[in-house]
A = this chain, B = another copy of it.
Amino acid sequence: MKILKIITAAFILCFPSMQAQESLGTSSKKGLVSPDVNGTTVTFRLKAPEAKSVKLMGSWLPAKNWDPTTLDLQQKQDGIWEITQANLPPDLYTYSFLVDGVKVDDPNNVYLVRDIANIMNMVYIDGPKSANYKVQNVPHGTVSKRWYPSKGTKADRRITIYTPAGYENSKEKFPVLYLLHGLGGDEESWMTLGRASQILDNLIAQGKAKPMIVVMTNGHTSTTAAPGESAKGFYKPTMMAPDALNAEMETYFREIIDFTENNYRAKKDVNSRAIAGLSMGGFHSLYISANYPKTFAYVGLFSPAVMPPRNALSEIYKNIDDKLKTQSNNQYQLYWIGIGKDDFLYKNVADFRQKLDALHFKYQYVESTGGHTWINWRTYLTEFLPLLFN
C-alpha cells in the first residue's frame, strides 16, 4: 500500500514537475473557463487584475479598412474580465485578446493556429456544417509529412499527403486532389486553418465524397518547407511575395504529379485528377490546369487571384486565352469558381468570368457572403469535394 502511494504520488508529481521545470505552471487558472461555449453563445474570460483594459478580436467580427474590430471585455469580480458573444453562426473562429495593448493568447485555451506570423486561438461552434471541421468517430485517413525531390528547384521539398481510411489495407487505386494554399500559406495551412483532413474524413464517411488521395504542396519555391520545418530554422515568417509570379510552381508541378503517382496507388487518368487552391493557390490551379493539357478533369478556384501578368517572362502566363480555348476543347468535368461578395478580388474574378463567358468556357460559379477568409475556404472545400470523381 505504501509503495502504491509512492508510485501514485510519483506519477502525479510527473506533471507538476514538468510544469515547474518546463511548463512553468502559470497558465492554468483553475476554475476559469474560456472560451465557454454554450450552443451558439460564447463567453470569453481572462484573469487580469492589474489590467486597465482587455479587448477581444475575433474572426467573426467585420474588419474596417483592414483594421480589426475590437470589443471591450468588462471587469467582474476577482480581476476576471468577461465578454459574451451570442448567435454566432456555427463555424471555427479565431480570436485573440488585447491586454493594455499587448496581444495575449487565451491562457485557458490550448488550441492555437498560426497564419504567417500571427498566432490566434481557435473556438469551435458546433452545427451541421462545422461538424465536418471537427474530428468525429469515423474512420480516419493517414496524414503524412514527406519530402519529395525537386530537380527543378534543386532541393528536397516538404509535402503533406492525406490518404483515405483503409488505404493501407487495400489494393485499390484512388483519384488525387492537389490542394494548394495562398500567398501567406505553406504545406501545413490546409490542415491547420483549413481542417482538410477532418473535412475529408467526415465527407468520405458520410458517403458525400469519394475516397481520394489529397496532396498539399508548398507553393513557395523559394523555400522548401513551412517556417521552422526547414534548415532556415526558427525565423519569423513574413509574406513571401517574390516567388509568387516566378512560374516555378507551375513549371515544376509535373514533379509533384510524378512523385504522387510513383509513390501512391493513384489513378493516373485525367478523370482521376483534380486541382484546387485558394487565392494564390487558385492562380496556380488556373495556370497549371491551363498549361498541362488533358491532365486535370476537375479544377477549383477558391477566391482566386486570376488575372495574368501580361509582361511576365514565363511562357506559363502567355497566351492564356488560347490555352483556355484548348482546355475547353479538351473537355473537363468541372471548373468551379467560388468567391465572397466582400472579397477584394471580387471584381477581378468578375472580369475573369467575363473572359470565360466570351470564350464559351463552361464553369460552375458560387458566390458566397463574406470575404477572403478561411471561413469561406473551408466552406468551398466542403462544397467542392462532393463534386469530384463522380
A residues at B contact (CB < 8 Å) = 1, 3-4, 6-8, 10-28, 33, 46-52, 57, 59, 63, 66-68, 94, 96, 98-105, 107-112, 114-120, 122-124, 134-137, 139-140, 142-147, 156, 158, 165, 168, 182-184, 193, 225, 227-231, 233-234, 236-237, 239, 241, 244-245, 263, 279-280, 283, 305, 307-312, 344-345, 348, 371-374
A305 to B23, CA, bound (A): 20
Q: Is the CB of B115 within 8 A of A14?
A: no
Q: Is the CB of B146 within 8 A of A230?
A: no
Please give, as numbers and ranges, the residues of chain B lying within 8 Å of A104 by CB-CB distance.
Answer: 99, 102, 104-105
Q: How far is the CB of A329 from chain B (nearest CB, A)?
A: 26
Q: Count this chain's copies in the assembly.
A: 2
Q: Is the CB of B101 within 8 A of A112?
A: no
Please give, as numbers and ranges, the residues of chain B lying within 8 Å of A123 by CB-CB distance.
Answer: 234
Please give, as numbers and ranges, the residues of chain B lying within 8 Å of A234 by CB-CB distance.
Answer: 109, 111, 122-124
Q: Is the CB of A119 within 8 A of B27?
A: yes
Please give, as numbers and ranges, the residues of chain B lying within 8 Å of A99 by CB-CB distance.
Answer: 99-100, 102, 104
Q: Is the CB of A25 within 8 A of B115?
A: no
A374 to B225, CA, bound (A): 25
- Knowing A59-B21, A119-B105, the reply to whether A51 touches B100 (Cβ < 8 A) is yes
Out of B51, B139, B165, B184, which one reaches A102, CB within 8 Å?
Answer: B51
Q: Is the CB of A102 within 8 A of B48?
A: yes
A64 and chain B: residue at smallest CB distance: B20
Out of B25, B66, B142, B156, which one reaches A25, CB within 8 Å?
Answer: B66
A156 to B140, CA, bound (A): 9
Please give, as numbers and ranges, the residues of chain B lying within 8 Å of A111 by CB-CB distance.
Answer: 228, 234
- Knowing A6-B307, A140-B156, the reply to whether A100 touches B24 (Cβ < 8 A) is no
Out of B10, B117, B312, which one reaches A110, CB within 8 Å?
Answer: B117
- Knowing A19-B118, A28-B118, the reply to whether A11 touches B373 (Cβ < 8 A) is no
Please give, as numbers and ranges, the residues of chain B lying within 8 Å of A345 by CB-CB distance.
Answer: 10
Out of B98, B124, B233, B244, which one reaches A26, CB within 8 Å?
Answer: B98
Please give, as numbers and ranges, the residues of chain B lying within 8 Å of A245 by CB-CB distance.
Answer: 7-8, 11
A66 to B225, CA, bound (A): 38
Q: Is the CB of A143 within 8 A of B144?
A: yes
Please give, as numbers and ranges, the residues of chain B lying within 8 Å of A311 by CB-CB distance.
Answer: 1, 4
Out of B15, B102, B182, which one reaches A116, CB within 8 Å?
Answer: B15
Q: Is the CB of B309 within 8 A of A68?
A: no
Given contacts A14-B280, A20-B66, A134-B231, 10 further A-B contacts (CB under 8 A): A11-B244, A11-B305, A12-B241, A19-B115, A21-B371, A24-B120, A28-B117, A50-B102, A105-B105, A140-B158
Q: Is the CB of B110 within 8 A of A119?
A: yes
Please give, as numbers and ranges, the residues of chain B lying within 8 Å of A136 by CB-CB distance.
Answer: 231
- Knowing A21-B63, A26-B96, A124-B233, the reply to whether A112 touches B116 (Cβ < 8 A) is no
- Knowing A20-B63, A100-B48, A239-B15, the reply to whether A309 touches B4 (Cβ < 8 A) is yes
Please give, as numbers and ranges, the residues of chain B lying within 8 Å of A25 by CB-CB distance.
Answer: 66-68, 118
Q: Is the CB of A236 within 8 A of B110?
A: yes
Q: Is the CB of B112 within 8 A of A14?
A: no
Q: Is the CB of B115 within 8 A of A112?
A: no
Please give, as numbers and ranges, the residues of chain B lying within 8 Å of A230 by CB-CB distance.
Answer: 135
Q: Provide a sorted-by-A list of 22 A–B residue pairs whose CB atoms are within 8 angstroms.
A: A4-B310, A7-B309, A8-B241, A10-B348, A11-B183, A16-B66, A19-B66, A19-B118, A22-B59, A22-B118, A23-B120, A27-B119, A28-B118, A100-B100, A110-B117, A110-B227, A112-B112, A135-B225, A135-B229, A135-B233, A139-B156, A168-B263
A34 and chain B: residue at smallest CB distance: B236
A348 and chain B: residue at smallest CB distance: B10
